[in-house]
Amino acid sequence: MNKKSLTALLSLATFAASAAMTEPPGLNEKLRPAADEQLAFVLAAEGVQVYACKPSPKDPYAYAWAFVAPEAALSEGGSIVGRHYAGPTWESSSDGSSVKGTVRERQDGGHGNIPLLLLGGTAGPKDGKFAGVTSVQRVATRGGVEPADKCDASNAGKELRVPYTADYYFYKRK
């Protein structure tokens, strides 16, 4: 490969990488991170949203599906790099760093999909990939909604695991 071809190939790769590291399309203004934050990395999640059949908080004689926790593998470039679990928490499998989120804003994810979210991030004590993460966006959600199965006294305590996928955009201060 000659120098000109190599330069063109590297330019194309750089453009593709920067295009992949932009804000996701279709977000409401309220789902955007603060102006002093910049995108650090994006991870794809594949897993389940866990729900349990419990007495309704509104009516002690009724039952309803209650969200328990996510359980998902996080991947980057086709390789699993971490996990997503209750908290909600995202954790790196290589360095043990983590970030815990608190929901700030929601946007409808479309029929049959869990909502898009903007979460505030609080990084855990370990240095690594998630150190310094200040915001997390959950976008491109597919599935994961509350089960359609019957939830009544005969199913009390039953858990269902609903498959979902999503992309998580992680932001850090500029």
Identify which of 22, 31, 43 has the alpha carbon closest to the alpha carbon of residue 135: 31
pLDDT tens digits, residue range 112-164? Answer: 999 999 999 999 999 999 999 999 999 999 999 999 999 999 999 999 999 99
Give 14-31 pLDDT, tens digit per residue.
333 433 457 777 899 999
Closest alpha carbon to 170 in 128, 115, 120: 120
What's the pLDDT score for residue 18?
38
pLDDT band at 2 (very low <50, low <70, confident <90, very high): very low
Q: Give the global pTM.
A: 0.85
Cα distance between residue 136 and residue 139, in whole Å: 10
The Cα 34–Cα 136 span in angstroms is: 11
